[in-house]
Structure 1
């Protein structure tokens, strides 16, 4: 007997939003953080996947964005009304941003990427990389260098 394994299709963070909402948030991300729009699209896509996994698994306390993905999460939370509604629709509760003193290590980023990938999302490896130095001056106290 032959067993055929079919790879599951991956999804994107972008697929979690209507195009119009994604466009508004990505334009803000580009403007606020000085990204080219194509970079802002990638950052926001990965932030949406990260936040979705944190919210659906209730693992926000053990996950963190990479330095490159962090502006995407900040873009989401800066749109407070939208973010609160989206969290309620997606998870049934408001996922708070709780900066902590964790250092974004290669191990932590590998674990986070593994969880996002296991949830079926595409990973943009260029945005997770290794590490994770703090990103002053806007690091929100989420690392010892702030």
Structure 2
């Protein structure tokens, strides 16, 4: 079974973990690494998903850090087979019920990865604080947080 780190070389992973730590100085490095790994698995699942997927608040935190490393992000997207665009919107925890996150977790498992359940907390659960304040919606004319806005990705406009 693949884990997120199999898709991200150690040097790239370390750089992204460092960014997560800079943005969240009170976070344990081991937790930051787990979040990085989970976000990589999330992106791999998005690449083959037939429908939009939503990251947890914690996974979204790492996604933001990963996007800042544009070369690392591009290499990862090339490896998973599609560029996954990110379109932020204002936080709206009520619009993302647990069933949405459960669907995303199921796609991660279907893509051959394990899920770190502790990182898929409900949007209103702040027991693990992170700096990210972004949430996502399904794709629109400007793109999607879950796939290719041009619709030429592996499963159309994810």
State the TM-score bracket (shorter-chain normalisation).
Answer: 0.7 to 0.9
- In 2, Cα distance between the equivalents of 1:77 and 1:50? 14
Residue-by-residue CA offset, 1:54-82 (whole Å, 9 max, x unaligned): 123364xx111111211111111111232
Flag structure 1 segments of 5+ consecutive residues without an equivalent: 1-9
Is the contact made by 2:7 and 2:76 (CA closer than 8 Å) also made in structure 1? no
Q: Are residue 28 (structure 1) and residue 13 (structure 2) matched?
A: no
Flag structure 2 segments of 5+ consecutive residues without an equivalent: 138-158
Alignment of 1:1-146 (within 5 A): 10-34=1-25, 35-57=27-49, 59=51, 62-91=52-81, 93-99=82-88, 103-129=95-121, 131-133=122-124, 138-140=132-134, 142=136
Q: Number of aligned pairs?
A: 130
Is the contact made by 2:8 and 2:76 (CA closer than 8 Å) also made in structure 1? no
Worse-superposed segment, 64-73 or 131-140: 131-140
Sort the Cα spacing of 1:66 and 1:141 in 2 relative to 1 into closer, same or farther, 3 A.
closer
- In 2, Cα distance between the equivalents of 1:32 and 1:46? 18
Higher relative contact order (CA 8 A, sep 6+): 2
Worse-superposed segment, 106-115 or 75-84: 75-84
Residue-by-residue CA offset, 1:80-112 (whole Å, 9 max, x unaligned): 232123212331x42101235682211001100
- TM-score, normalised to structure 2, is 0.71
- In 1, Cα distance between the equivalents of 2:100 and 2:62? 18
